[in-house]
């Protein structure tokens, strides 16, 4: 899921100020905390109030989309309203905002949120945590399942650095655990310090460079062709 | 330690087996570096080389290369060019090492660097393209094989440098630190300069554990110029605690002696009482190659501190 944070109402208002009629689109996808129809309505009310305070009238409608990052779902849900509204405010993560802008080329979609990170839900500790940074070259087999790219503040491949104190990280005031000490302790538990001692050479950051692309159909077709050639 | 020759005077001195000293210079937000030059002149007689720091605590300071070069040129004191991987990717690190080699720098200390979020430009994008171990690997490629990490050759001339690394005697759990140092030594470190130690038993144990790598160790010590510095160090430098008695005597010197000269004399005495026996013990009962004395802006202590060890 994607962890998001609602922008300040003033910032959202500044974006939609030039428009008198807006569509507010919630997202029922993986965005956390949830930003669905109710949140869209509340945002509409707040923006209306804000407009009134500035001597303007704002007409708005709130809807929600099953998943804004899917072009088919987002397209079918939003299309019926698109001619009537001058702008869209999206309550999805950046993926949803971008998708709506791409599908509806003649309407601007504005973000109501800042997208923070892709997270796993840790019910035990009541936390959302970033366990993976989608770096394109999985190291978890060497690090006892704890990712240093995502969980080390410096993304070190051969940590820890000198900034850890008693297993806590210098970034954030020694509040968060040092990923490399966690890796060390877990590898030690399994008698696998051979993996800790291993030198990991410089990473190939081409694998992590944005924008990311995966052409599904192409790959699928190539795979079939290769198989047929083998035959 | 591999077969890399001793390119620097520091490395040559270490190889003689003499118990040696290195100092430290900390350029800050400055264009006029005469203060650094004066400090280097003041310590020149007592140390084999001086480290030049690279934006400690994540601060935006003058790049350490130029002060490293100017100290060598103007003072004739060899420098240890400290480089962190915080602000430069592998291309920039490579370029800076070549530049350093162009102007005759012979020592580089490969460091991770404090995170940029801790410094005075906290919103800066932290780089960490390489970590300090990978940087040592890059340096080995450059020095031993005359190439970058991808095997592209350096066209003219050779990088002739010795590579230092850091180690933290205050780290806990200790084993994680010791093994990490081993990883760095294995990819091509020539010597170790440690963070500051205040506990003699801890320091001795640490040196003993590191000695398995057969890589010369310079133990870091930080003489305390005044109570303010001591208490800042104690409170804000992670993992370091200044012994309570030492703090107490410095505090009482600050409070009870009004005359600056007299107070300085007392502070020097306190430092000498603590550090002379400390160094004596390290020299006598460990395999340490020497002391990395981080007496930044406190060069007057070098003479009395080091006289019996020279």
Q: Choose the closest CB to A154 out of B128, B176, B238.
A: B128
Residues of chain B contacting A193 with CB distance shorter than 8 Å:
179
Mean pLDDT rounded to a whole number for chain B: 96
Q: Supply the pLDDT for residue A223.
A: 65
Q: What is the ipTM of this complex?
A: 0.95
Q: SS3 string of B244-308?
A: HHHHHHHHHHHHHCCCHHHHHHHHHHHHHHHHHHHHHHHHHHCCCCEEEECCCCCHHHHHHHHHH
| Contact flag A160-B117 (C-beta cutoff 8 Å) | no
Q: What is the mean pLDDT of residues B209-228?
A: 97
- Is pLDDT above 70 for A219? no
Q: Supply the pLDDT for residue A220.
A: 60
Residue A103 buriedness (CB in 10 A; 0-12 / 13-18 / 19+):
middle
B122 touches chain A (CB under 8 A): no
A162 touches chain B (CB under 8 A): yes
| Contact flag B112-A154 (C-beta cutoff 8 Å) | yes
B187 touches chain A (CB under 8 A): yes
User: What is the set of domains in chain B, with CATH numbers?
Assistant: 9-304 (3.20.20.220)
Question: Per the confidence metrics, is the pTM higher than 0.90?
Answer: yes
B171 touches chain A (CB under 8 A): yes
B179 touches chain A (CB under 8 A): yes
Q: How many CB atoms lie within 10 A of CB A228?
A: 8
Q: Concatenated DSSP letters for A76-104?
A: HHHGGGTTT-SEEEE-S-HHHHHHHHHH-
d(CA A132, CA A147): 6
- Is pLDDT above 90 for B225? yes
- Is pLDDT above 60 for B2? no
| Lowest mean per-residue pLDDT among A90-99, A201-210, B170-179, B193-202 | A201-210
Q: Choose the closest CB to B117 out of A161, A167, A171.
A: A171
Residues of chain B contacting A188 with CB distance shorter than 8 Å:
175
Q: What is the mean pLDDT of residues B201-218?
A: 97
Q: For A47-74, what is each residue's pLDDT tens digit?
A: 999 999 999 999 999 999 999 999 999 9
User: Which residue shows structure tokens 């305070």?
Assistant: A53
Q: For B167-191, what is each residue's pLDDT tens digit?
A: 999 999 999 999 999 999 999 999 9
Q: Supply the pLDDT for residue B14.
A: 98
d(CA A15, CA A24): 13
Q: Supply the pLDDT for residue A217.
A: 66
Decide which of B26 and A228 is more confident.
B26
The distance of A30 to chain B (nearest Cα, Å) reads 28
Q: Where does CATH 3.40.50.2300 sit in chain A?
A: 2-117
d(CA B12, CA B15): 5
Chain A residue whose CA is closest to B172: A166
Chain B residue whose CA is closest to A188: B176
- Is pLDDT above 50 for B158? yes
Helix (H) or strand (E) holding A148: helix A148-151
User: Which residue shows structure tokens 């003699």?
Assistant: B200
| Contact flag B133-A199 (C-beta cutoff 8 Å) | yes
Band (B273; pLDDT cuts 50, 70, 90):
very high
| Lowest mean per-residue pLDDT among B131-135, B138-142, B237-241, B281-285 | B237-241
Q: What is the mean pLDDT of residues B225-232?
A: 94
Query: What CATH code is assigned to A2-117?
Result: 3.40.50.2300
B281 touches chain A (CB under 8 A): no
Q: What is the mean pLDDT of residues A149-158?
A: 97
Q: Choose the closest CB to B180 out of A160, A167, A174.
A: A160
Identify which of B223, B202, B206 has the alpha carbon closest to the alpha carbon of residue B293. B223
A129 touches chain B (CB under 8 A): no
B123 touches chain A (CB under 8 A): no
Mean pLDDT rounded to a whole number for chain A: 94
Q: Are residues B149 and B104 in contact, defined by beta-carbon separation less than 8 angstroms?
A: no
Q: Supply the pLDDT for residue A229.
A: 73
Q: Supply the pLDDT for residue B1.
A: 45
- Is pLDDT above 60 for B88? yes
Q: Supply the pLDDT for residue A168.
A: 96
């Amino acid at each position: 899921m994607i962890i998001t944070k609602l922008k300040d109402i003033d910032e959202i208002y500044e974006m939609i100020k030039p428009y008198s009629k807006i569509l507010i689109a919630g997202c029922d996808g993986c965005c956390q905390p949830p930003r669905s129809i109710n949140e869209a309505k509340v945002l509409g009310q707040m923006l209306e109030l804000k407009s009134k305070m500035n001597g303007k009238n704002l007409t708005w409608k709130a809807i929600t989309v099953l998943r804004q990052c899917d072009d088919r779902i987002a397209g079918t849900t939003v299309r019926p309203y698109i001619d009537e509204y001058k702008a869209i405010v999206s309550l999805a993560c950046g993926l949803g905002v971008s998708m709506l802008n791409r599908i509806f080329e003649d309407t601007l979609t504005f973000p109501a949120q800042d997208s923070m990170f892709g997270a796993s839900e840790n019910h035990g500790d009541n936390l959302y945590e970033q366990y993976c940074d989608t770096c394109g070259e999985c190291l978890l087999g060497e690090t006892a399942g704890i990712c240093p790219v995502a969980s080390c503040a410096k993304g070190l491949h051969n940590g820890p650095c000198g900034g850890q104190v008693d297993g806590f990280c210098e970034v954030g005031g020694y509040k968060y655990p040092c990923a490399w000490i966690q890796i060390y302790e877990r590898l030690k538990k399994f008698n696998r310090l051979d993996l800790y001692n291993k030198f990991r050479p410089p990473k190939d950051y081409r694998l992590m460079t944005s924008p990311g692309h995966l052409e599904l159909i192409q790959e699928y077709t190539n795979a079939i062709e290769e198989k047929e050639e083998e035959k | 330690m591999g077969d890399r020759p001793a390119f620097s005077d520091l490395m040559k001195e270490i190889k003689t087996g003499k118990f040696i000293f290195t100092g430290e210079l900390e350029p800050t937000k400055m264009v006029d570096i005469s203060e650094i030059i004066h400090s280097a002149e003041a310590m020149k007689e007592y140390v084999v080389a001086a480290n030049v720091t690279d934006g400690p605590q994540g601060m935006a300071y003058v790049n350490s290369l130029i002060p490293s070069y100017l100290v060598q040129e103007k003072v004739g004191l060899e420098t240890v060019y400290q480089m962190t991987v915080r602000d430069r990717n592998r291309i920039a690190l490579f370029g800076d090492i070549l530049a350093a080699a162009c102007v005759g720098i012979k020592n580089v200390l490969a460091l991770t660097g404090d995170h940029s979020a801790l410094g005075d430009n906290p919103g800066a994008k932290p780089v960490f393209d390489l970590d300090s171990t990978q940087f040592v690997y890059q340096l080995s490629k450059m020095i031993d094989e005359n190439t970058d990490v991808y095997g592209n050759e350096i066209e003219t001339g050779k990088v002739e440098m010795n590579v230092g690394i850091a180690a933290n005697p205050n780290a806990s759990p200790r084993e994680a630190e010791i093994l990490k140092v081993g990883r760095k030594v294995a990819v091509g470190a020539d010597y170790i300069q440690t963070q500051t130690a205040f506990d003699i038993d801890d320091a001795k144990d640490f040196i003993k554990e590191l000695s398995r790598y057969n890589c010369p160790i310079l133990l870091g010590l930080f003489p305390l110029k005044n109570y303010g510095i001591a208490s800042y160090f104690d409170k804000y430098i992670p993992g370091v605690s200044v012994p309570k008695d030492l703090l107490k005597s410095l505090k009482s010197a600050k409070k009870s002696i009004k005359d600056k000269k007299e107070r300085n004399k007392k502070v020097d005495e306190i430092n000498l009482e603590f550090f002379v026996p400390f160094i004596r013990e390290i020299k006598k009962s460990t395999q340490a190659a020497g002391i990395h004395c981080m007496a930044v802006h406190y060069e007057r202590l070098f003479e009395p501190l080091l006289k019996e060890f020279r």
